[in-house]
Structure 1
């Protein structure tokens, strides 16, 4: 196992007071000395249940645990802020770390839906109806078919769901 759940706190409270005092004194002395073990507490986010591709992650379906394996490869989600509003690309199993590569942003436009195409050049602005040929998140460059002419153009997805067409 590469992490420890917060159960170690329950075990700590169940032990006797003399032991807690001795360990507390030792820890306070150790805190006075610079030590890499106390410098940074490594955490990971793991699912508490199976999460399938296309599902949106939320804090109620995951938990943050302490990482106890120092050799755990980098590239996993460490905090809840990193999963906020993300969607899974593949199945996430309970008790396993969530890889950053297994998550994506939510799609702003979906293939086959109707979107507004906008082309701007100086003072000229042209607007038309279009249909995306692929799903895309905000900021991605995608291909879109102009519904009126059938011409396929490329454009960048904007936050409001419009697509700003690039000039050739």
Structure 2
């Protein structure tokens, strides 16, 4: 079974190379950590260095290539020095934190209602989060906005 799997993998690699599916970014400079970056840490430019993308090591779409894709993001897991950074190892900085009072806004047509709510989970801009209305105690879901408010319903 093991030999058959190796043959299939070899055939797939040969076929993808023949069809021009080989990594187009091999030999391109990519950014990698120059020190250990721990989960929850914000990534800054001076914690990164350039490294040449090795052919066959990793698919180019699985590597963050540009500084704009790294700087200011938060590490979700430990990033090791000299290792490629995968997009799923990063997240946007939270706009609202868990347990913080925020303004909850409902808007429909010309009607706008706002109330105070407490977030039950953290969230970045565009994320859906659950909130508890301070006045009624009801739990609702809403979308985090860039200014730190949460839009619900409508």
TM-score bracket relative to the smaller structure:
0.7 to 0.9
Structure 1 or 2, whichever has the larger Rg, is: 1
Structure 2: gaps of 5 or more residues: 1-24
CA–CA separation in structure 1 for the residues paired with 2:43 and 2:81? 13
* Count of residues paired in the alignment: 131
Q: How does 1:19-38 map to 2 (within 5 A)?
A: none
Residue 47, structure 1, aligned to residue 33, structure 2: yes
- Post-superposition shift, 1:148? 0.9
Shift in Å, 1:68: 2.8
**Separation in 1 of the partners of 2:54 and 2:137?**
57
Q: CA deviation at 1:63?
A: 0.8
User: Partner residue of 2:131?
Assistant: 144
> Once superposed, which parts of structure 1, at least 4 consecutive aligned residues long, lie more than 4 Å away?
none
CA contact (8 A) 1:43 1:79 kept: no
Question: Residue 150 of structure 1: CA displacement?
Answer: 0.3
Post-superposition CA distance 1:61-89 (Å, at most 9, x none):
01121123344223111121211210000
How large is the RMSD of aligned CA atoms in angstroms? 2.0
CA, structure 1 residues 40+73, in 2 after alignment: closer, same or farther (shift >3 Å)?
closer
TM-score, normalization by structure 2: 0.79
2-structure distance, mates of 1:102, 1:92: 8
Matched, 1:82 2:88: no
Equivalent of residue 45 in structure 2, options 59, 63, 69: 59
